């Protein structure tokens, strides 16, 4: 606002475009990672981060910053963000939510350090020098990506403990035969081969006969697994998998709840420093509020992961509570933030409740759809999250310009967070209905 354009609405579009691009391109990032792997995806993201920030350091207009800092660097962030949301699920089988929580603390640590760091860089190097230095920091994503261990191609997805305990069956619709695959003796293997032979003969005998379908939930041998996987990849491309995911009602409702949460989250984070200055705080004091949020964020992300690792705690219900409490804090912030210390306290407690949701997204997606769909599904959720990040700051800026009352920003944020909590609760209702229909 001091160096490029003083209009709060125009400048809010720059930051919202960055995070909007980062999340709106989630489905594309998911497809890229599914096709090329996490290592190459993360390294490409680091390269785009450097390129976007480097060119932005020479820009003098809002439009050029939208294209460079907002779009190019946003694409780089999107590629790296999708890797963060998928890799813990592929690496860990036990305590997976806790692994997500520890991994997601990186974002909280960045928020904790980022406020004072950016304030220091802006003071000494101005906006364009800060862009250049931040691009160099983001380029280190290439180093982090190079250290990622590739997932075993023979078994790209590990099963959960509950899935490993389930018995795998082969169902033949025409004869209603059920073959138990949980045993590994020769008798069960021969029955599987007989069922498969009958299936192939039924298809070749006559086109008028009803088609027999066989579903393998786990292959009996490594070679057969590879062959079936290749056939599935050939017959069911990624866009059909994406279409199938959108047909799952609980997942669609959960995606909408994430969009509502991100609307409130974006309004909080983007407007907090300017709101603090509006209330009489200095720029350094305003930046320290982000540091307080970072401290609460790190605690929240780890705590949410550890709590969700307990089999007696439902991750969906945990998110319902966190989002509802964050909305309540946002409402109270409008009447209790007159002093600097109260602003620090509200910033800390808001992040303590809201930021843990970042940890829960990955485990909830895995519970809703299964691990093989997590790369594409996480990208879809990021798309809905991006809608919120893209629209939240401009909407609240318009509210402020039209009314002259900055507190409406946090009333809007609180309403979105509470509605997001309600939508998350509806996810469990959809899961119950789906389970009842399957039974």
| Cβ–Cβ under 8 Å, residues 80 and 71 | no
pLDDT for 16? 74
| pLDDT at residue 161 is higher than 70 | no
d(CA 398, CA 9): 7
d(CA 301, CA 296): 9
Mean pLDDT of the region 382-397 = 84
Q: What angle do CA 313, 388, 135 make, to 5 degrees?
A: 100
| pLDDT at residue 403 is higher than 80 | yes
* pLDDT band, residue 136 (cuts 50/70/90): very high
**For residue 344, what are the contacts with CB-CB under 8 A and spacing of at least 6?**
288, 289, 292
d(CA 26, CA 14): 19
pLDDT in tens, 90-112: 788 778 888 888 888 887 788 77
Closest CA relative to residue 198, chosen from 229, 218, 190, 231:
190
| pLDDT at residue 395 is higher than 70 | yes
255: left (phi over 0), alpha (psi -120 to 50) or beta: alpha
pLDDT in tens, 195-208: 545 545 544 454 44
pLDDT for 194? 54
Least confident of 109-113, 253-257, 314-318: 109-113
Higher pLDDT, 240 or 279: 279
pLDDT for 205? 52
Closest CA relative to residue 101, chosen from 403, 284, 303:
303
pLDDT for 52? 93
| Cβ–Cβ under 8 Å, residues 431 and 253 | no
pLDDT for 177? 44
pLDDT for 198? 55
| pLDDT at residue 432 is higher than 80 | no
* pLDDT band, residue 158 (cuts 50/70/90): very low
* pLDDT band, residue 294 (cuts 50/70/90): confident
Closest CA relative to residue 73, chosen from 101, 98, 45:
45
| Cβ–Cβ under 8 Å, residues 113 and 294 | yes
Mean pLDDT of the region 370-397 = 81
| Cβ–Cβ under 8 Å, residues 82 and 379 | yes
Structure token digits, residue 60: 């003098």
Least confident of 33-47, 110-124, 185-199, 260-274: 185-199
Tell me if residue 240 falls in helix, strand or coil: helix
CATH T-level fold of 8-155+239-438: Growth Hormone; Chain: A; (1.20.1250)
Give phi and psi for 187, each to the nearest 5. Answer: -65, -45
**For residue 165, what are the contacts with CB-CB under 8 A and spacing of at least 6?**
none
* pLDDT band, residue 277 (cuts 50/70/90): confident
pLDDT for 390? 79
| pLDDT at residue 439 is higher than 70 | no
Mean pLDDT of the region 374-403 = 83
Considering the chain, what percentage of its residues have pLDDT values greater than 70? Answer: 75
pLDDT in tens, 328-377: 999 999 888 888 899 999 999 999 999 889 889 888 988 888 777 777 78
- Of 51-55, 60-64, 116-120, highest mean pLDDT: 51-55
257 burial type by CB count under 10 A (0-12 exposed, 13-18 middle, 19+ buried): buried
Q: What is the CA radius of gyration of the chain?
A: 25
pLDDT for 51? 94
| pLDDT at residue 388 is higher than 70 | yes
pLDDT in tens, 211-231: 444 444 444 444 444 444 443
d(CA 91, CA 198): 39
State the DSSP code for 220: S
pLDDT for 286? 85
**What mean pLDDT is reported for the chain?**
77
pLDDT for 431? 61
d(CA 299, CA 295): 7
- The helix-helix angle for 238-246 and 26-36 (nearest 10°) equals 140
Closest CA relative to residue 120, chosen from 291, 265, 6, 272:
291
Tell me if residue 285 falls in helix, strand or coil: helix
* Segments making up each domain of the chain, as ranges: 8-155+239-438, 161-236
Structure token digits, residue 91: 């690496």
């Amino acid at each position: 606002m001091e160096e490029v354009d003083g209009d709060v609405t125009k400048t809010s579009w720059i930051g919202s475009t960055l995070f909007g691009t980062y999340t709106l391109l989630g489905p594309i990032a998911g497809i890229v990672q599914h096709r090329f792997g996490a290592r190459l995806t993360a390294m490409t993201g680091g390269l785009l981060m450097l390129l976007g920030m480097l060119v932005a350091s020479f820009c003098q207009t809002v439009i050029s910053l939208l294209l460079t800092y907002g779009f190019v660097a946003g694409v780089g962030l999107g590629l790296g963000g999708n890797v963060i949301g998928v890799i813990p699920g592929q690496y860990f089988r036990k305590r997976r939510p806790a692994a997500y929580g520890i991994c997601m603390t990186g974002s909280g640590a960045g928020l904790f350090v980022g406020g004072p760091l950016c304030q220091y860089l802006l003071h000494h190097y101005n906006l364009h020098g800060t862009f250049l230095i931040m691009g160099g920091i983001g380029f280190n994503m290439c180093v982090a990506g190079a250290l990622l261990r590739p997932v075993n191609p023979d078994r790209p997805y590990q099963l959960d403990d509950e899935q490993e305990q389930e018995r795998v069956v082969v169902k033949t619709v025409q004869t209603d035969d059920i073959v138990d695959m949980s045993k590994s003796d020769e008798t069960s293997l021969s029955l599987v081969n007989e069922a498969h032979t009958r299936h192939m003969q039924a298809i070749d005998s006559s086109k008028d006969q009803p088609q027999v379908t066989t579903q393998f939930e786990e292959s009996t041998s490594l070679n057969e697994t590879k062959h079936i996987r290749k056939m599935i990849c050939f017959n069911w491309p990624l866009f059909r998998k994406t279409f199938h995911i959108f047909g799952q009602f609980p997942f669609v409702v959960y995606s909408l709840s994430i969009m509502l949460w991100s609307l409130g989250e974006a309004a909080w984070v983007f407007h907090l420093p300017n709101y603090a200055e509006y209330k009489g705080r200095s720029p350094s004091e305003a930046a320290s509020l982000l540091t307080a949020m970072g401290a609460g964020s790190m605690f929240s992300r780890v705590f949410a992961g550890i709590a969700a690792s307990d089999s007696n705690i439902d991750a969906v219900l945990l998110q319902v509570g966190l989002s509802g409490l964050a909305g309540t804090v946002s409402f109270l912030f409008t009447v209790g933030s007159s002093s600097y210390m109260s602003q620090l306290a509200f910033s800390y407690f808001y992040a303590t409740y809201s930021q843990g949701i970042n940890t829960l997204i990955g485990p909830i997606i895995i519970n809703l759809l299964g691990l093989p769909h997590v790369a594409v599904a996480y990208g879809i959720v990021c798309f809905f999250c991006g809608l919120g990040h893209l629209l939240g700051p401009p909407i609240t800026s318009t509210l402020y310009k039209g009314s002259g009352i900055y507190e409406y920003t946090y009333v809007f944020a609180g309403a979105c967070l509470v509605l997001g909590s309600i939508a998350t609760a509806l996810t469990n209702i959809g899961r119950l209905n789906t389970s009842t229909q399957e039974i």
